[in-house]
Amino acid sequence: MSIALFVLRRLGRGVFTIWFAVTVTFLLLRLLPGDPALAVASPNMTEETRAALLTQYGLDQPLIIQYFIYLGRLVTGDLGTSFTQSIPVVDVLLQRLPWTLVLTASALVLTVLLGIPLGVLAASRRGKAMDRFVQILGVTGQSLFVPSVGIALLLLFGLWLRWLPIGGAYDDAVYGVAWYGSVLQHLLLPALSLTLIQLGSYVLTVRATLIDALGDDYVTLAKANGLSPRRILWKHALRNALLPATTLIGLQLGFLVGGAVLTETVFAYPGIGRGIYEAVTQLDFPVLQGAFLLLAVTVVVANMLTDIVYGFLDPRVKTA
């Protein structure tokens, strides 16, 4: 199969997945118990006010009509208007998206930068104390709860040591280079928190796949040919072991966004995860639909890129 056809097929799958996600999101939101008018207005409102609000939101139409109106607008790039804020959903999302991108990208990079050496360390010392230590760290990491880790980090670095700020994404009244410094300072704790939560599974995956790779015939051959253990480990075995780990990165993006909701809440970080939580409490359907669409596109694109990268890393994939 040619590379062009391979990429086209992945693109087609991506578009289908996004349409499916959009449809499921639309229907699921309308199945939620509760009434958007009640979530927005005072409980003392009259039935007349409620009816007026539902008309204003377009929720007085039959579900199928609402769906096609929504799809029709979507293809023209119109994500609708927020029920509660009365501003376009695109504006709501764009205000928050950059911060979530920064947070999740930092956590992803940190996870890989820490995860690969730790996984290699454990696999190359299989059964020894270092391996056990890394495994314990990995399992512990998987069982950590974001709010507990977050508050512990804030208490230690924010209140007791006073090294890092408590909450927000940057300080007021700082500009230019100082602003970037402030962003980095505010980013450290939430990114570290998110990294700690997902590092465990990544380290354990790298370790397990590397141990498998180290038992393969080509490794035995490399040893017989006199290659140094370091070269065998880093140049040959790790390259093959990283294929499943690369897939895991794509999959973890979805997990990262889920983790971002809690992380952004604890660290008062102004990202889209918190926006989703607030929109859920207010049953703000247009914002939720827009946010989930955005997330679906992000995850699909990330997975598509992972697939394509995978195709380059492993030629067998393209012809499969």
Partner 1 sequence: MRKRYPLLAGVAAIAVLALSACAPEAPPAATSTSTAKAGTDTLNIATTTDVVNYNPLVGNSRSDYWVSNLMYPHLLSMNEDGDRIPEVATDWGYVDETTGFYEIRDDMKWSDGEPLTAEDVAYTLNATKKDKPAGTLYGQLANMDSAEAVSKTRVEMKLSKPDASIVEGIGFWGNIVPQHVFEKAGSVAEFANDGSDGGWVSAGPFVLTKVQVGQSYTMDRVEDYPIVKGGTPIPAKVVYRVYPDVNAEILALQSGAVDAIANALPPAQVEQLKNTAGIKVEESTGLGYAHMTYNMDNPDLAKVEVRQALAHAADYDAIRKVVLQGQAVSTGSSPLMEVHGDYYDKSIKEYDFDVDKSRSLMEKAGYTADANGNFPVSFRLIYSLQDSVTSQWVQLVKDSAAKAGITIELQGTERNTYLAMTNAGDYDIYAGNFAIMEDPVTNMVLSYLPGGAINYTHVDDPELNDLINTASTSADEKERVKLMREAAQIVHEKVYDNIMYSQQLYFAHSDKWTGFVSKPSELLSIVNPVSLASASKTAK
Beta carbon of residue 282, minimum distance to partner 1 (angstroms, whole number): 7
Minimum CB distance to partner 1 smaller for 197 or for 249: 249
Beta carbon of residue 136, minimum distance to partner 1 (angstroms, whole number): 27
Beta carbon of residue 32, minimum distance to partner 1 (angstroms, whole number): 7
Minimum CB distance to partner 1 smaller for 211 or for 243: 243
Minimum CB distance to partner 1 smaller for 75 or for 94: 94
64 vs 27, 93, 125, 277, 291, CA distance in Å?
10, 26, 60, 26, 21
Minimum CB distance to partner 1 smaller for 111 or for 124: 111
Beta carbon of residue 291, minimum distance to partner 1 (angstroms, whole number): 13
Minimum CB distance to partner 1 smaller for 7 or for 133: 7
Beta carbon of residue 196, minimum distance to partner 1 (angstroms, whole number): 17
Secondary structure of the chain: what % helix, strand, coil (to 5)?
Answer: 80, 0, 20
Whole-angstrom Cα Rg for the chain: 24
Q: How far apart are CA 252 and CA 257, in angstroms?
A: 9
105 vs 69, 219, 249, 260, CA distance in Å?
34, 34, 11, 11
Say how far residue 97 (Cα) sits from the centre of its chain.
12
Beta carbon of residue 46, minimum distance to partner 1 (angstroms, whole number): 7
Closest CA to 169 of 157, 182, 156: 182
Identify whether the C-beta of residue 94 lies closer than 8 Å to the C-beta of residue 238.
no
Which residue type, as a one-letter code, is found at position 132? R
* Helix axes of 285-313 and 272-281: crossing angle, nearest 10 degrees: 140
Beta carbon of residue 61, minimum distance to partner 1 (angstroms, whole number): 18
Minimum CB distance to partner 1 smaller for 26 or for 267: 267
Minimum CB distance to partner 1 smaller for 123 or for 241: 241
Q: How far apart are CA 212 and CA 240, in angstroms?
A: 10
